[in-house]
């Protein structure tokens, strides 16, 4: 591993832990993504994490708060890290090819299909509270069924 990779690994460690401490399973390889998605039942909240400011200040906090606020939690919490775990991120994005790659982004998966997708464009330039409310509403609709 070169010095740059080592540096970035140290920088993103707390960004990874923020979701893992919330209960997310971090998938770091394409194989982990395939195994997880092929055996997935019910609903899942999938966060495509990122090192950018809108992930740190908006997406991750909104996801954490939405999960605390909703009565309709998904069965699974999954995350991949764009720009860091490239193969895992690409493998996850292959499960929703109808949406352009976007990070950070939030996918809601239900019964083997993409039920809802919040791209970066609906995260940056919004208030954290707006994103939380948006996601809470989506979880309430998708996970209640």
By annotation, the residues acting in catalysis are 52, 54
Gyration radius of the chain over CA positions: 14
> What are the percentages of helix, strand and coil residues in the chain, rounded to 5?
50, 20, 30
Strand partners, 48: 80, 105
Continuous segment of H or E residues that includes residue 19: helix 3-20
Contact (CB, 8 A) for 114 and 95? yes
Structure tokens at 66: 């939405």
Contact 134, 122 (CB under 8 A): yes
């Amino acid at each position: 591993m070169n010095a740059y990779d080592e540096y970035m690994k140290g920088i993103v460690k707390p960004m990874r832990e923020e979701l893992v401490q919330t209960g997310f399973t971090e998938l770091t390889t394409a194989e982990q993504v395939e195994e997880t998605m092929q055996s997935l039942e019910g609903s899942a909240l999938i966060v495509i994490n990122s090192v950018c400011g809108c992930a740190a200040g908006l997406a991750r906090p909104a996801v954490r708060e939405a999960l605390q606020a909703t009565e309709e939690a998904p069965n699974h919490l999954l995350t991949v890290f764009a720009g860091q775990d490239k193969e895992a991120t690409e493998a996850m994005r292959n499960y929703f090819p109808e949406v352009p790659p976007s990070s950070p982004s939030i996918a809601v998966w239900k019964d083997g299909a993409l039920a809802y997708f919040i791209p970066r464009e609906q995260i940056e330039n919004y208030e954290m509270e707006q994103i939380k409310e948006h996601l809470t509403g989506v979880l309430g609709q998708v996970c209640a069924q």
